[in-house]
Structure 1
């Protein structure tokens, strides 16, 4: 059996404003009806695959659980990194965890934010690579290039014939992201594949590679895993030893140094969706080359992407060519296609200006559901709060604000000090400043209420928690 290892701790700023630190691209429905994370988990499931091992950060742990549940799946385990350290420590931690569970475990390490539309075709490639992985090879998957792409790393073979092989072939070398002229030369030679960053091997093979090429990482990662604590469904890696681990990618730490690397060619479609240009390339365009969302209109436009992420907001383009326009409730990006890699610059500038849009959405996701701010003034705020069936907010109080709750859909179970009552649609209640209160949804449909806050301070950190079913501090 193969254990998928899904890496999903990245913050994906290159697809801003749709991907942000608080809710990055792997959890967004960029193409299709599922998020990239859900599509990745589904692609690496079925006969021959165990439940996925997920490695993520603290802020995404409930998003991971909810999205897997929505896809009808569960994780074998979810490891919470206490601090981002790139992919090498995460992969080593996964290998150590798997070896403890199954000494002969095969692991298929994959980013959770890539697009591989042909799931059966990719699983066939994995099956063709199994024997090499079982023999002690680290099998990395190479994608047949379709253009002279400068945003990807490459894998070089000894001959062009290797590109179409139905089994893993020896790798000559890794090649960093090239300039345009070098990319054209490599494409013409036929000896190169794109490096997809996906690899298959046994857990023991990975650990042995670290023992040779990065031995200093093993002790801290082992200690962090050994001292980990269980938090509901999650395994929290210990912070103190994790701090001693250098931040480095698995490519630099192991792959570019190991001698036992083989490449499994894959001829199907693939994209890392690393920019809006890549999203445009991977989307279904109209006869003029335009990619439009449901709430977008193009008049005399060519080779452009127009996308609205807000109900009731129409994006209209007239006479545009090679333009990307992405509209969200609180930010709009307009750029020329080909400038997608510069979106990171925008995010850094917005951070320097302390703009909330740089990292956060107007909608905040919580394990019980989500909320969004509808209006904000000097001493008031109006929110829409959506609570999932059976979910409950923590038992809490506030030092600086009072709240009015009006139920607009479903039924709310409300606790205020020692009183518990049910509120139906069009009913309301008042939570005085300092009152101990809780909101629950006892029904079978999402419960929606409008909350009006009044007070001297309205920040989310004005919460004193007494009980929480999600074990939040």
Structure 2
């Protein structure tokens, strides 16, 4: 079975640590063997242990490809959306890629799962059973459904049309209910409904045929070129809910969506992460602090305090579900960004009356990595090296830089910087009447250097 791993989202539900440049699946706030681990890394580790990572492909857009390679490694296979749409166009593009570029036959079974879920290791043993469920049931799509542990309005529900049988591991699907209220959730659970994990499998030819039936191309090159014309809708609405032959495999183990700060801190063994203090009377309170200044909670129970470069959040644990709406309403822009080569934080953005802008950033390049060879047409950059030893190339001339040194890069100058001894940290000032992330021309690094 080939796997399509969906990595998307706008990164607003776990603000201020997540943003459009670093959605929640990339936050390294879980732990495994006493080491920090992101949701993405956890899913990849579990897929690897289940021997499912060898034929896995990431579907994503924007800069997330860099983040995936930064956390998983350069071997990660990325199917990049030309622009962010929704799960129906994303899965369709990935399916066309598997057929046209990866050599998958129409009879091959394709599994789909998001990379921001949280499940026990046995979940992936169940995942490996989906191909046999497709075969046994004769279904077009086989889904995974988690047996609910409590009524919840956070999840969609799969309503079966049959009762469990000792001789039949799967159930037929009757309908779907999207995030009902708690009263309706209780009734659905009594009917045997399952949480919809967003995990399913189908034969590749099934989806390719459906694209043709909808008047859409199943050719990868054509889909990629005309991607913005694809319907911006979910795979559930466009395909799953329109398919009659559906089955679901019930899963009785650990599964949940870590989509709120309250659900996330339940998975953490420590109440304090980062510099800070929680008083004894502040029971069931948590601090997650990415800043270098201490954060303290004094005699306030049942709250969560999250501090990061994008801002500081203080929320009651039970009321942490509406943060996405708050972030959208006040249009909080991201100041922190992770990239394949490291991370950067915007410290200030000033504009003079003349229109001259100065953007100051703290940049950290991870050991052994580098920012590509490129130039800017409209801005000057000034780098002040803070720590580490780096390698710099200015218009083909190489030099080593150490703490305290200052490098000036004029507009129209090709340049490169990398970390050669430990992480390289520097303060970057971008100065110009136009300071934009689109002002960049990339080049191949000269072979002669």
State the TM bucket, normalised to the shorter chain.
0.7 to 0.9
Q: Does 1:39 align with 2:42?
A: yes
Is residue 3–residue 107 contact of structure 1 (8 Å, CA) maintained in 2?
Answer: yes
Q: Does 1:144 align with 2:143?
A: no
Deviation at 1:419, TM superposition (A): 4.1
Deviation at 1:263, TM superposition (A): 0.7
Q: State the TM-score, normalizing by the size of structure 1.
A: 0.81
Matches within 5 A, 1:4-403: 4-32=3-31, 33-46=36-49, 48-49=51-52, 50-69=54-73, 74-75=75-76, 77-100=77-100, 101-103=103-105, 104-116=107-119, 118-119=120-121, 121-134=122-135, 136-137=138-139, 138-158=141-161, 161=164, 167-187=169-189, 189=190, 191-210=192-211, 215-216=213-214, 218-219=216-217, 222-223=218-219, 225-227=220-222, 237-238=224-225, 241-284=226-269, 291-299=271-279, 300-310=281-291, 312-351=292-331, 358-360=332-334, 362-374=335-347, 377=350, 380=358, 382-388=360-366, 389-401=368-380, 403=382
Is residue 217–residue 245 contact of structure 1 (8 Å, CA) maintained in 2?
Answer: no
Distance 1:52 1:337, change over 3 A: same
Distance 1:249 1:384, change over 3 A: same
Is residue 146–residue 196 contact of structure 2 (8 Å, CA) maintained in 1?
Answer: yes
Match of 2:441 among 453, 456, 465: 465
Q: Secondary structure at the match of 1:313?
A: coil
Count of aligned positions = 428
Gaps of 5+ in 1: 229-236, 286-290, 352-357
Query: Which one has the bigger helix percentage?
Result: 1
Deviation at 1:14, TM superposition (A): 1.5
Deviation at 1:19, TM superposition (A): 1.4
What is aligned with 1:449? 426
Deviation at 1:26, TM superposition (A): 1.5
1:12-47 CA-partner distances (Å, limit 9, x unpaired): 311111211121111112322221122222222356
CA RMSD in angstroms comes to 2.9
Is residue 83–residue 242 contact of structure 1 (8 Å, CA) maintained in 2?
Answer: yes
Moved more, 297-306 or 105-114: 297-306
Structure-1 separation of matches of 2:125 and 2:147: 16
Is residue 390–residue 444 contact of structure 1 (8 Å, CA) maintained in 2?
Answer: no
Structure-1 separation of matches of 2:257 and 2:174: 23
Query: Which one has the bigger strand percentage?
Result: 2
Moved more, 294-303 or 48-57: 294-303
Q: State the TM-score, normalizing by the size of structure 2.
A: 0.85
Is residue 275–residue 294 contact of structure 2 (8 Å, CA) maintained in 1?
Answer: yes
Distance 1:404 1:387, change over 3 A: closer
Deviation at 1:142, TM superposition (A): 0.6
Q: Secondary structure at the match of 1:181?
A: helix
Is residue 45–residue 51 contact of structure 1 (8 Å, CA) maintained in 2?
Answer: no
Structure-1 separation of matches of 2:434 and 2:87: 38
What is aligned with 2:402? 424
Q: Secondary structure at the match of 1:307?
A: strand
Deviation at 1:3, TM superposition (A): 1.1
1:95-141 CA-partner distances (Å, limit 9, x unpaired): 2222341213221100111111x22x122212333212245421111
Deviation at 1:255, TM superposition (A): 1.3
Structure-2 separation of matches of 1:462 and 1:89: 26
Moved more, 320-329 or 421-430: 421-430
Gaps of 5+ in 2: 352-356
Structure-1 separation of matches of 2:330 and 2:400: 44
Q: Secondary structure at the match of 2:250?
A: strand
